[in-house]
Amino acid sequence: MSSSPEPRPRAALLQGVDRAALVVALTVRLRENGVRTDLDAARSLARALSLSLPRSLGELYWTARVCLVRHRGDLEAFDAVFDAAFGDADPVGEQLSPPPAPVRTRGERAPDGGPEDRGAVGGGLPWATLPDTDPSPGGEDDPRALPELLPSALEALAEAPFDRLSEGEVRQLGRWLEELRPQLPRRRGRRHSPGPGGRRVALRATLARARRTGWEPLELVRSAPVPRPRRVVALCDVSGSMRSQAAAYVHLMRAFALIAGTEAFAFGTRLTRLTPLLAHGTAEGAVARATGAVQDRFGGTRIAASLRELLASHHGSAVRGAVVVVASDGWDGDPPEEMAAVMARLRRRAHRVVWANPRAAAPGFEPSTGGMAAALPFCDALVPAHTFAALRGVVAAVAAETASRPRRTG
Is 200's pLDDT higher than 50? Answer: yes
Q: What is the pLDDT of residue 106?
A: 40
How far out from the chain centre does Cα 279 lie? 8
Last residue of a domain, one of 226, 248, 281: 226
Among left, alpha and beta (phi > 0; psi -120 to 50; other), residue 379 is beta
- How many angstroms separate the first and last alpha carbons of the chain? 79
Is 44's pLDDT higher than 50? Answer: yes
What's the rounded mean pLDDT across residues 248-265?
Answer: 83
Q: What is the average pLDDT value for the chain, to the nearest integer?
A: 75
Is 337's pLDDT higher than 90? Answer: yes
Same domain, 350 and 304: yes
Pairing mode, if any, of strands 222-229 and 200-201?
Answer: antiparallel
How far out from the chain centre does Cα 68 lie? 31
Same domain, 352 and 284: yes
Q: Could you tell me the CATH number of the domain that includes residue 392?
A: 3.40.50.410
Q: Which domain holds residue 243?
A: 232-399
Dist. CA 371–CA 226, nearest whole Å: 39
309: Cβ–Cβ under 8 A, 6 or more apart, which residues? 270, 271
Same domain, 220 and 117: no
Same domain, 390 and 252: yes
Q: What is the number of structural domains in the chain?
A: 3
Residue 144 lies in a domain: no
Same domain, 249 and 389: yes
Q: Of 207-211, 257-261, 283-287, 315-319, which has the strongest mean pLDDT? A: 315-319
Same domain, 221 and 256: no
Is 399's pLDDT higher than 60? Answer: yes
Same domain, 335 and 211: no
Query: Is residue 106 a contact partner of residue 74, using CB atoms and an 8 Å limit?
Result: no
Dist. CA 81–CA 28, nearest whole Å: 11
Last residue of a domain, one of 226, 245, 278: 226
What's the rounded mean pLDDT across residues 46-51?
Answer: 86
Dist. CA 181–CA 254, nearest whole Å: 12
Same domain, 49 and 113: yes
Q: Each residue of 372-398: pLDDT tens digit?
A: 999 999 999 999 988 888 888 888 888
Q: Which of 45-49, 98-102, 343-347 has the lowest mean pLDDT?
A: 98-102
Dist. CA 401–CA 227, nearest whole Å: 13
Confidence of residue 402 (pLDDT cuts 50, 70, 90): low
Cα angle, residue 366 at apex, residues 364 and 368 outer, rounded to 5°: 140
Same domain, 32 and 92: yes
Dist. CA 142–CA 185, nearest whole Å: 43
Q: What is the pLDDT of residue 88?
A: 58
Dist. CA 320–CA 315, nearest whole Å: 10
